[in-house]
Amino acid sequence: MAEAVLEIKNLETHLASREGAVKAVNDVSFSLIQGETLGIVGESGSGKTMTALSIMGLVPNPPGEVVGGSVILDGENITELSDSEVRKRRSTKMGMVFQDPGTSLNPTMKVGPQIAETMQLHLGVDEATARRRTVEILERVGIPSPESRYYDYPFQFSGGMRQRAMIAIALSCDPLLLIADEPTTALDVTVQAQLLDLVRDLKAERGMSVIWITHDLGVVAELCDRVAVMYAGHIVETGSVDQIFTSPKHRYTSLLLKSLPSMAKRSSDKLTAIAGLPPSLANLKPGCPFAPRCDAPVDRCLEENPALMEAGDNQFAACWNTLADGEHS
Amino acid sequence: MSEKAASTTGMEDFEFVKQRSLWLDALERLIRNRAAMFGLFICTLIIFIAIFGSVLAPKDYLRTNISNIAGGPTTENWLGTDLVGRDVLSRLMHGTRTAVFAAAITVVLGNFIGITLGALAGYLRGLVDDLIMRVTDILFSFPDFLFAAFLSASLRTPVVKLLAQLKQKTGWEFLDQTIFIDYMLLFGALAMVNWSGTARLVRGQILSLREHDFVRAEIALGMPTWLIIRKHLIPNSIAPVIVGISSGIGGILLLESSLSFLGLGIQPPAASWGDMINTALPLWRQFPWLVLLPGGTLAIAVFGFNYLGDGINDALNPRQIQR
């Protein structure tokens, strides 16, 4: 077993609000080995992005704060480092790609220098070297004729090209870990497919680990090795892509999969929806947060919040009434 | 493919094709604007006279001639002479220098202070923001003009003392010349009333910019704060500041003249349009051209800078990019 690049233990991130602390990330633990891709899926507000920001040390403060747990990246606990130390780790050890490529580039700065700037700062290379490497990396992420595009402004790039440029910036300093926060949501499906291919190739080439945050289960199936399903700030189930898609153990995962359209279904079949809404994270009741919406709750669900329990070979689910093998269909 | 590979191996083989930039687009829109071009022409002319005025001036602007007081236009003195017989044209040219000098230095100084403090306030927020913004509030609560007058009047004595001491230490002769002291006080006073508007403008811009994704992305890339402010926030907030500068120059010209008119700015014998109006005003019924000439020049200059400022405003306005 390869050594873990990233190890997160009992991470707790709270956001201050008028109704009290919102537990946006609640006792989240997972680890990532080199070259592995972890997909984090969940509804809006389930804590996916806050988990990513906690790893990057970017939780907006105020109102947010990492209140407990540890994030160990390459042997160092990020949560204990000073701000300036964490800043040095960004780009060189962890890079992040944001959701909206339209606004993620500085509109008044040319694309090439924007990428070169990061390298000059973190790798200490001179301008000419940075420019050469920028052109190489732009070519690698699939920008046609990168020399002539070097001095283009972001508004001269299409959405897909901007996201490619964002990936180029994130990769410019060879990070161990790439965190992608719904990077393809704002793009159309063809461009999305191209970008997924690109990330898969780059990952294989550079041996980096990737955390891919999305609510698109199709993307997860396409790209990821492992999946973590989040609900109400908790990870409710983790397992390999195969396990999650073919034999989910948590009832939320199962219901989530059933709500997907599929080619096997006929157009007259209605998609199943999960009734109800996610709970408010400011005042969580005791018991499983999913219990009110669950299709088969047991008494214990309302009393005690289950921890992740082994539910299969390297598959864990936080559920008192896990699905039996073959129950998910 | 092999050609491509070859082109990425050596630096010198690169041919970076420069494409039309934001600024080039803006420039093109500016050139198509006739009023702005007219303004630009006036501004260029004025700046040209300011720089080369002392060479171009037909007469010595300080030399008096008691035998030709308030004389009309002659071949000798094209625009006549003033109340002590000095050549009006030469004094106007030197006044141009004062006006442009005052405007340029005030703008540079005032906007430097304004942009720096505004950016700090907007980015750091909290206590720094409160402190800086309360100071600008206080400055805003004074009438501009009164504040500048107050500054230049009350600071004269300490500045004169300070400069005299400096002169003793350094031995630089120019330090206690009245013209130099006048300029110092005038620029200082004008810059002090000038920065608060810019500071507010930049702060507002940066408050909204700092929430943009690209700033978050820069933070996520590990950029230090000062680099983010300098390379990403300020360039993005600079367009309205440029407009503010070009349309504000007219106001500064007026303010300088008004101060000199009240005897608080440039003192005679140095030349300033405001001072020229001031000296001639009591006798305007007899010698109206002595008031009209500097007044008209001032009006044309203010018009020119305002037209140019308006044009730059239109050119930089992103909503007009689609034509």
What is the domain partition of chain A in residue ranges? 4-224, 251-317
Tell me, what's the pLDDT at A212? 92
Alpha carbon distance B214, B283 (integer Å): 63
Q: What is the band of B4 on the pLDDT scale with cuts at 50, 70, 90?
A: very low
CB-closest option in A89, A98, A153 to B22: A153
Tell me, what's the pLDDT at B156? 80
Tell me, what's the pLDDT at A211? 92
Does the pLDDT value for residue A73 go beyond 70?
yes
Q: What is the band of B20 on the pLDDT scale with cuts at 50, 70, 90?
A: low
DSSP B126-138: HHHHHHHHHHHHH
Mean per-residue pLDDT, A77-92 = 84
Q: Determine the 3-state secondary structure of A258 from DSSP.
A: helix
Mean per-residue pLDDT, B127-139 = 91
Contact B273, B279 (CB under 8 A): no
Contact A241, A313 (CB under 8 A): no
Q: What is the band of B32 on the pLDDT scale with cuts at 50, 70, 90?
A: confident
Strand order in the sheet with A209-214: A94-97, A177-181, A209-214, A37-41, A226-231, A234-240, A315-317, A309-312
Tell me, what's the pLDDT at A308? 85
Amino acid at the residue A255: L
CB-closest option in B212, B222, B236 to A90: B222
Does the pLDDT value for residue A4 go beyond 90?
no
Does the pLDDT value for residue A40 go beyond 90?
yes
Tell me, what's the pLDDT at B3? 43
Q: What is the band of A185 on the pLDDT scale with cuts at 50, 70, 90?
A: confident
Mean per-residue pLDDT, B305-312 = 86
CA atoms within 13 A on the CB side of A87: 14
Q: Is the Cβ pair A104, B213 closer than 8 Å?
A: yes
Tell me, what's the pLDDT at A64? 82
Does the pLDDT value for residue B18 go beyond 70?
no
| Per-residue tokens: A201 | 């190739």
Does the pLDDT value for residue B112 go beyond 70?
yes
C-alpha closest to that of B278 among B257, B251, B296: B257
Mean per-residue pLDDT, B246-253 = 80
Q: Which residues of B touch A103 (CB under 8 A)?
A: 212-214
**pLDDT > 70: percent of chain B:** 90
Q: Which residues of A touch B18 (CB under 8 A)?
A: 151
Residue B92 main-chain phi, psi, to 5 deg: -60, -40
Tell me, what's the pLDDT at B21? 62
Q: What is the band of B232 on the pLDDT scale with cuts at 50, 70, 90?
A: confident
Q: What is the band of A39 on the pLDDT scale with cuts at 50, 70, 90?
A: very high
pLDDT, averaged across chain B: 80
Contact A250, A232 (CB under 8 A): no
Q: What is the band of A298 on the pLDDT scale with cuts at 50, 70, 90?
A: confident
Residue B288 main-chain phi, psi, to 5 deg: -60, -30
Q: Is the Cβ pair B232, A153 closer than 8 Å?
A: no
Q: Is the Cβ pair B236, A108 closer than 8 Å?
A: yes
Q: Is the Cβ pair B232, A106 closer than 8 Å?
A: yes
Q: Is A276 left (phi over 0), alpha (psi -120 to 50) or beta?
A: left
Does the pLDDT value for residue A153 go beyond 90?
no
pTM of the model: 0.72
Tell me, what's the pLDDT at B317? 66
Which of A104, A127, A211 is the best substitution to test chain B (most B C-beta atoms within 10 A)?
A104
Alpha carbon distance A231, A224 (integer Å): 19
Q: What is the band of A326 on the pLDDT scale with cuts at 50, 70, 90?
A: low
Contact B175, B166 (CB under 8 A): yes
Q: Please state which of the ranges B209-213, B291-295, B300-304 shows the lowest mean pLDDT.
A: B209-213
Q: What is the band of B266 on the pLDDT scale with cuts at 50, 70, 90?
A: confident
Q: Please state which of the ranges B72-76, B93-97, B119-123, B297-301 shows the lowest mean pLDDT.
A: B72-76
Q: Is the Cβ pair B14, A89 closer than 8 Å?
A: no
Homologous superfamily, domain B40-53+77-320: MetI-like (1.10.3720.10)
What is the domain partition of chain B in residue ranges? 40-53+77-320
Q: What is the band of A97 on the pLDDT scale with cuts at 50, 70, 90?
A: confident
Tell me, what's the pLDDT at B8? 44
Tell me, what's the pLDDT at B98? 82
Give the nearest chain A residue to B17 (CA atoms): A148
Tell me, what's the pLDDT at A34? 87
Alpha carbon distance B93, B263 (integer Å): 20
Tell me, what's the pLDDT at B144? 78
Does the pLDDT value for residue A205 go beyond 90?
no
A213 in reach of chain B (CB within 8 A): no
Q: Is the Cβ pair A103, B214 closer than 8 Å?
A: yes
Q: Is the Cβ pair B19, A151 closer than 8 Å?
A: yes
Does the pLDDT value for residue B1 go beyond 50?
no
Does the pLDDT value for residue A146 go beyond 80?
yes
Contact B272, B185 (CB under 8 A): no
| Per-residue tokens: B189 | 């006073």
Q: At what angle do helices B34-56 and B22-31 cross, to 10 degrees?
A: 90
Mean per-residue pLDDT, B131-156 = 85
Q: Is A182 left (phi over 0), alpha (psi -120 to 50) or beta?
A: left
Tell me, what's the pLDDT at B323? 40
Contact A186, A159 (CB under 8 A): yes
Beta bridge partners of A22: A15
Does the pLDDT value for residue A241 go beyond 50?
yes
Q: What is the band of B318 on the pLDDT scale with cuts at 50, 70, 90?
A: low
Architecture of domain A4-224: 3-Layer(aba) Sandwich (3.40)
Tell me, what's the pLDDT at B2? 42
CB atoms within 10 A of CB A240: 16
Name residues 17-56 of chain B within 8 A of A (Cβ). 17-19, 21-22
CA distances from residue A68 to A65, A112, B120, B154, B277 in whole angstroms, order as listed: 9, 39, 32, 58, 73
Q: Determine the 3-state secondary structure of A307 from DSSP.
A: coil
Does the pLDDT value for residue B131 go beyond 90?
yes
Q: What is the band of A2 on the pLDDT scale with cuts at 50, 70, 90?
A: low
Q: What is the band of B10 on the pLDDT scale with cuts at 50, 70, 90?
A: very low
Q: Please state which of the ranges A215-229, A260-274, B93-107 shows the lowest mean pLDDT.
A: A260-274
